[in-house]
Amino acid sequence: MAPSDHGQQRPGLWETVNERYPGSMISKDDTVPLAPLRRPLSEARLTFVSTAGVQPKGTLPFDVVHPIGDYTFRAVPSDSNPVDLEIHQLKYPTDGANRDLNVIFPIQRLQELCDEGVVGELTESFFSFIGYNMDPDLLERTLAEDIADAVEDQLADLALLSPA
Amino acid sequence: MTAVSLHHLKAAVASGDTAALIRYVRLHVGDGNEHVGRNEIDKAWVQALTVLLDMPEIDREFVHNTLQTKDPGTLAHLFFSLHFALVRSTGDWIHDGTL
């Protein structure tokens, strides 16, 4: 889909969100250009960053009740089995994902792509947070920076980003 | 970046626009539907009252100590947490996801 005049990829969605959550629509002009991949995908180390609210069982559940949002993330070991993971997220239907986590957090598909040599390797951890955050400045200043630092620490060559 | 979201709520606080604030709460607890949110708030209160009608044993010391010792932010968060916990305990869960 072609970007709209204000740079969003799904313009209709934003009007809907802003109608349901007044004042929630944000605009961002200082976009960062995509970095070129420096090696073939089959030699690259891939990480995965998702807003699906997926986390290892036994870790502190995401704060889904806070009216302003949760600005923390969870590291999800990339060799996890889906049965060892769970979802804490109020704002999207989780029925399908609870039957097969891969529909929202394709960890086994990425493991397979790695085993098949399509992707060179996976970072030790993937990263997950919840997308209901009403303070975009705090989101950018803390959560985004924290995840970016974690991704750098894992020496990722590329990051697959996925909204939920 | 234009931080509209939180600014919108803080501006409502500053101007005393409580209608905007309660609308936001209803949207939050109603998954984006104000009418549903109003019903959800009622549902939580009805559930709280219903549970107490049978006069169950209560840990009053816990409640008292919590209210006396915890900071306003924790108590406000507890208020939201109790809303969702009470609604969930009714078995009538309208939200797309899970706590």
Query: DSSP per residue over A36-58, as a string?
Result: PP-S-GGG-EEEEEESB-EEETT
pLDDT at B33: 82
The average pLDDT across B62-70 equals: 98
Chain A residues closer than 8 Å to B79 by CB: none
Query: DSSP per residue over B61-82, as a string?
Result: HHHHHHHHHS-HHHHHHHHHHH
Q: What is chain A's mean pLDDT, rounded?
A: 86
pLDDT at B28: 87
Chain A residues closer than 8 Å to B98 by CB: 87-90, 94
Lowest mean pLDDT among A9-13, A30-34, B3-7, B44-48: A9-13
Dist. CA A69–CA A24, nearest whole Å: 12
Check if the beta carbon of residue A51 is closer than 8 Å to that of residue A59. Answer: no
- Given a cut of 80, whether residue A6 has pLDDT beyond it is no
**What are B31-57's pLDDT values in tens digits?**
878 899 999 999 999 999 999 999 999
Dist. CA B33–CA A86, nearest whole Å: 27
Check if the beta carbon of residue A24 is closer than 8 Å to that of residue B4. Answer: yes
- Given a cut of 70, whether residue A11 has pLDDT beyond it is no
**What are A58-112's pLDDT values in tens digits?**
999 999 999 999 999 999 999 999 999 999 988 778 888 999 999 999 999 999 9
Q: Across the interface, do A65 and B1 touch by the CB < 8 Å criterion? A: no
- Given a cut of 50, whether residue A17 has pLDDT beyond it is yes
pLDDT at B5: 75
Give me the residue from A91, A92, A135 closest to B6, CB to CB. A135
The predicted model scores a pTM of 0.85
Interface ipTM: 0.90
